[in-house]
A and B are shown apart, each in its own frame.
Chain A
Amino acid sequence: MMLRGLWRRRWLSLALLVVAAVTVASASLGPLYAQAARTAVLRNALDGVPPDQRGWRVTSVHDDAADLARAVSAPYLRPPVLGAELLSPDPRGDRTYPLMWQDGQCGHVTLIKGRCPRSAMEIMVTRASGFRIGDGVKLTSIRTRVGTEDRLVPLRVVGVYRADPGDDFWFGRNLFTQTAGVSEGNGDPLLTVPETRALSGLPPGQRASDAASGSAWTGYAIVYTDPAALTGADLDGLEAVHARLAAMGRSGDVVTVFTRMADTLDAVRRQIGSLSVPVTLVTLQLVALGWLLLFLTVRDLAAARAPETALARLRGLGTARMWAFGLSEPVALLVAALPIGLAAGWAVAARMAAEFLRGDVPVTLDGPSLLYGPAAAAGGLLAAAAAARGAVTRPVVEQWRRTPRARRRTWIPEAVVIAVAAVGLVELLAGGPLSGSPGGGAGALLAPGLLAVAFALLARRLLPLACAALFRLTRSRGGIAPFLAVRQIARGGATGSTVIVLGAGLGLAVFAVAAWSVTSRNFDEVARVHNGAETVYVVRATDAAALRRMSDGIPDSAPVVRLPGPPAMLATDPARFAAVALWRPSYAGGHALEDLVPRLAAPVAPRVPLTGERIRVRVLGGELPAGWTAVLYASVRVPGQALLSEIPLARPRPGRATYEWGLPRACRTGGCELRGLRVETTPAGTVDYEHQPGDLLVTGLDVRHGDRWTPVDAGLGDRARWRPGVAGGPGLVLSMSLWGGPSAAVPATFPDPLPALANGTPGNRKLPGLDDAHGVGYAATVSAAAVPGLDAPGGLVDLELADRAAYGYSEKAEFQIWAAPGRAAPVLRGLRAAGVPVLATRTVDGLRTGFAGQGPGLALILLVVAAGAAALLALGRAVLALYVAARRRTLELAALEAAGARTGPLRRALLIEQAVTLTWASLAGVLAGVLAARVALPRMPEFTEPPSTPALVYTIIPGPVVLVGAAALVACLVAAAVTAELLLRGVRVDRLREAPA
């Protein structure tokens, strides 16, 4: 019987089924999508990082590293890669070679000659080692005992290999980037087989620290995570694995665990943390909207079943049975909607995951998603019960007599909702505990829901009043159509739920679209500024001159060295930078970058190069009072060093005017530079302070290259070439007195402060400098709202000047080649042609995609998709409600027709009524959405780490909002026209013969 009832009211039942299914789908979509997003975040984090940030290298001398690694076995960990290593010098002590084996090594090297080692004492070597096949290589740790004597056993070379240092297999070990004989005396690895180890095991009692001395093998196991097997739910387990391995590493020197997994896990935690709250809030709002729709639809269903319900009461069904009867159809539909909704939620989540996350993210119905769906259905049941209550409990006689009941106090819950919305709004604007709570401004996501409902409720109340005000006007003009329409709307009953549902749904949709468009614009702008150029290639660290040369040979490129901040520093060739950087004149008062970069230049003295083996200084005035000693130092910048070399040039003594000292070895081939002269004076304990030493006059500098001394052009007599200006006349004057003038001077080869294009006020802050060791003052010769390439407050300076100011290059300095828009491919070709390996490529698109893949961006996608669906549902429900309400009036329309009213005016009346209602609701929704966007957007998280530059912009982009509002309105009006037409075609005078049920 129930099924027959459902079939009889099939369209209403279908509407309820759809609404219930969408509610369940909305509830399960959030958790499903969040689960997939967590997985994507985790996999993205592990995919894009170096090996040590996604794995562990467990090293042990005493324990078996394999056992240690297996102790943390998990399905998402790859089987450990085992290996062992023995660092051992050659017998002459010239070089130290890592003798090692690693499981599967032959599959990860390219054999140039020979073969892989197969048996003990066989090795393969790199070409750079200079060994040839068949050579015997002796290491001090590979010995055998012959009688009472230890003898070295040669390792036999059986192959020559080449390895890819970027291969994860080697766990990012710096094994192959060095060339034997050049870097610190370390040779390339000699790859052997495990059996070789048996000849040189760790003697009993020897500890790990001995391994460094080359007397012990060190076993290791490399454990990698398997991103493809990881899901968001494994994060806790992964953290536990990391904690366990980290604990092993802290247990002493027996086990060493090398990893930077903690950084990865921290980043993942932050991202996931920024995802959870927004997803929950979005889901709750959508489910609440779904419940409202369920309530209204069940109310319609209950109204449609009212005669049967009355009949059931007449037959004496008790209260419980009446409830069972009244709720039987809604419950059946809710139960049917549960699997449908779950399936729909899963399908949408899977589609969204593939579209917005990544293709390999599984979406599975797990505990929370299976819980949320029934919870939403249970909430729907309560809504259904609330809606059916009137029909079930209303006395039969009232139902039959259609007597109006006393007006319910519906304004009370509405007032509560509006008050809550107002309080929430004030709280949001004032930055109270909600928005200031942990989880950032995610609480701002409540604003759209609250405001949409509040506006819808207000609009619902205002519409009948507005129409009532038109009564007098329509009485005298406009014909019967507006007369009927405004009176029908003023009755309120037919339009109330429509305005509420459509206003709230559209409000959410408009907010979602506004939020998405504004956030996308911010993503674009931040990506554009942070990346600086459309494409940035990261190249191997070198020096400024080499980087400039690299760029000079490639059109449409610019050399950039980037130091992280704050304050962050970019050093570049200004003219080339201006040609490739993504600049907007609005950043700096409408000026083109080409016009600004000349301000980064400054007059400077020439550098003072020191090329040779020794340096000589000529001084005057080296007489010192008794008890005083003085040393004249030269500060020399040496290639490959981050710190200055301080050379004690002279210890002035009476009667001696010339002193000399050796230069660092690297200065023999050039590149050294004199960066300062200073004299340090030291009094003995018993000196007479009344008689201070005088000045030391440095009159000349020479360097010896080969057998020849060459004068150094240091400009010692030129005041403009030294800072402070103690130069002049015969030479540089340095005070040896404790209370005298300056005792040190530097060549004025760079301006201090450096002229900079700054994105903030420098104040007293200093840029890190290329060496990230000696802060460099900077002055904003150009101030800009944003500077391409700077993701933190800081400045852009001339690379040449920055290089002059620095004493070396920090490891943090990133060397980049920027490509002009649309010129990425030619620049890359140019780099390849020049033999420059590209370590990484960064694009604006990639950065933007990265932002969109962060927690807040992912939550926003959910909001847009779900709010769009909710708006469509609300639209459908609104049109259905209008249709149902109008259908109840077909008798009235039939009576009017019978009384002589023509169909045309009746059609117009119905159309006007529906159009006014839908337009009013749409306007309320758009207004609520725009207001919510204005209030909530500046307080809503858009990035996991809010960027400090550029300033985010929250002005609403009118296009998408107008588009959504207009589309909704047009859809409404078309639907209204169609329903009005359908309805009027069903109005026949002979219906008047039918008694109302």
Chain B
Amino acid sequence: MTPTAPAVRCDGVVQIYKTREVEVVALRDIDLVVEDGESVALLGPSGAGKTTLLWLLAGLLRPSAGRLWLGGAEVGRLGPRALDRLRAAQIGVVLQNPARNLVPYASAAQNVAFAQRAVRRRSRQRTDDLLERVGLAPLRDRPAGLLSGGEQQRLAVAVALANRPRLLLADEPTSQLDAGSAAAVVELIKEMGPTSVVVTHDPGVGEAMSRTVTIRDGRIGAEGRDGEDFVVIGREGAVQLPPEYHGLLPPGSMARVEPVRDGVILRRAEP
């Protein structure tokens, strides 16, 4: 990652899943920039494409169309090895369901060390620091499968941060946690994560992040900054109305566009 480039830059990213019979467009025309140090929450209903976007940001997928830069490196131009190296050194990922992030029979410390294996920067000190930070130092030798859900999630964060990544990606990090544990994990991500992108359904998590991006039907529909939500004007001028306004302008209805000095006003056209 070049220091001056944003941590993430999506330019018209499209992602299509191909199966034997059908093709599914998971993401379309995603334009997104995440600056260094930002913490972004990806919001949206199930199936909207949040996780797919996260996998793209993790370098696990290549965009079907459009361009994606991670710290200045264009993903589409990177070979498999370079992508592996990028993921190992620059990106930390916390998957949905804490158990999936961990090798259940390995101890907490071994799980962290396992993540360090890819970059040959094994550091017992770093492992101990991380476990200390996530409050698992007393449990460092306990197999991960025997930890509670909250402990596992904290350990997952520690594992994701094992290589000092510049980008931390987390998918529903609080989904199976009680409120207290969830808050602790969010705090941990904010505190320890450099630049973080978190997929969540939890509004609380979104509020904790510096910015929210709402994805609907594979498009970025809205962004929230400083407690205020904005719709995003997409390519070709498309706008996704937030669901709460569907009563006024139901999907399928016709509207008149009235230009004003700093924008336009949409008014329902009477049939």
Contacts and interface: CB of A to CB of B under 8 A. Distances in A.
Q: Do A and B bind each other?
A: yes
Interface of A: 1, 4-5, 7-8, 307-308, 311-319, 321, 395-397, 401, 403-404, 406, 995, 997
28 contacts: A1-B103, A1-B105, A1-B106, A1-B114, A4-B106, A5-B105, A7-B105, A8-B105, A307-B100, A311-B103, A311-B114, A314-B60, A314-B87, A314-B95, A315-B87, A315-B118, A316-B84, A316-B86, A316-B89, A317-B118, A318-B84, A319-B80, A319-B81, A396-B60, A397-B60, A397-B61, A401-B17, A404-B19
A312 B117 CA distance: 9
Contacts of A307: 100
B88 A4 contact: no
B103 A308 contact: yes
Given A1-B106, A5-B105, A315 B115 contact: yes
A67 to B, nearest CB: 72
B17 A395 contact: no
B105 A317 contact: no
Contact of B87 (A316, A321, A397, A995): A316
Contacts of B106: 1, 4-5
The 9 A-B pairs with the shortest beta carbon distances in the complex, nearest first, are A316-B88, A316-B87, A316-B118, A4-B105, A8-B105, A317-B118, A316-B84, A315-B115, A1-B106
Nearest to A325: B117
A315 B115 CA distance: 6
Nearest to A401: B17
Contacts of B95: 314
Given A1-B114, A4-B106, A318 B85 contact: yes
Interface in B108-129: 110, 114-115, 117-119
Contact of A311 (B55, B60, B80, B101): B101
A8 B104 contact: yes
A316 B163 CA distance: 11
A2 to B, nearest CB: 10
A317 B19 contact: no
Interface string B113-147: 01101110000000000000000000000010000
A315 B117 contact: yes
A404 B18 CA distance: 10
Contact of B97 (A8, A313, A318, A995): A995
Contacts of A404: 19-20
A351 to B, nearest CB: 39
Nearest to A7: B105
Contacts of A401: 17
Contacts of B104: 8
A110 to B, nearest CB: 79
Contacts of B48: none
A577 B105 CA distance: 80
Interface in B68-86: 80-81, 84-86
Nearest to B102: A311
B21 to A, nearest CB: 10
- Mostly, the A contact residues are helix
Contacts of A313: 84
B241 interface: no
Nearest to A397: B60
B110 A317 contact: no
B213 interface: no
B16 to A, nearest CB: 13
Counting chain A CB atoms within 10 Å of each CB, the highest count among B17, B55, B61, B103 belongs to B103
A605 to B, nearest CB: 99
B84 A317 contact: yes
B215 interface: no
Interface residues of B, number: 34
A317 B17 CA distance: 25
Contact of A397 (B55, B101, B110): B55
B53 to A, nearest CB: 13
A995 B84 CA distance: 27
A315 B101 CA distance: 10
Counting chain B CB atoms within 10 Å of each CB, the highest count among A319, A397, A995 belongs to A397
Given A314-B87, A317-B117, A401-B17, 13 more contacts: A8-B104, A311-B102, A314-B95, A315-B114, A315-B115, A315-B118, A316-B88, A316-B119, A319-B81, A321-B118, A403-B19, A404-B20, A997-B99
A400 to B, nearest CB: 8
B57 interface: no
Contacts of B88: 315-317
A327 to B, nearest CB: 15
B101 A316 contact: no
A396 B59 CA distance: 11
B93 interface: yes
Contacts of B100: 307, 311, 997
Contacts of A406: 20
Contacts of A397: 55, 60-61
Contacts of B99: 997
A7 to B, nearest CB: 7
Contacts of A316: 84-89, 91, 118-119
B111 to A, nearest CB: 9
Counting chain B CB atoms within 10 Å of each CB, the highest count among A307, A315, A317, A995 belongs to A315
A395 to B, nearest CB: 7
B17 to A, nearest CB: 7
Contacts of A395: 60
A312 B101 CA distance: 10
B168 to A, nearest CB: 13
A811 B117 CA distance: 85
A153 B84 CA distance: 107
Nearest to B89: A316
A675 B20 CA distance: 100
A662 B121 CA distance: 118
A1 B87 contact: no
B68 to A, nearest CB: 15
A8 B103 CA distance: 11
Contacts of A319: 80-81, 84
Contacts of A308: 103
B23 to A, nearest CB: 12
Given A7-B105, A311-B103, A397-B60, A321 B17 contact: no
Contacts of B81: 318-319
A317 B87 CA distance: 9
A114 to B, nearest CB: 89
A403 B52 CA distance: 14
A997 B101 CA distance: 10
A403 B20 CA distance: 9
A414 to B, nearest CB: 22
Nearest to A9: B105
A317 B80 CA distance: 11
Nearest to A395: B60
Contacts of B101: 311
A448 B123 CA distance: 57
A313 B110 CA distance: 17
A7 B105 CA distance: 9
A396 B88 CA distance: 14
A34 B58 CA distance: 59
A995 B87 CA distance: 26
A12 to B, nearest CB: 14
Interface in B29-57: 55
Nearest to B81: A318
A192 B133 CA distance: 104
Contacts of A318: 81, 84-85, 118
A164 B222 CA distance: 116
Contacts of B55: 397
Contacts of B117: 315, 317, 321
A307 B95 CA distance: 12
Counting chain A CB atoms within 10 Å of each CB, the highest count among B84, B85, B99 belongs to B84
A314 B170 CA distance: 13
A313 B143 CA distance: 21
A318 B83 CA distance: 9
B50 to A, nearest CB: 14
B33 to A, nearest CB: 24
Nearest to B18: A403
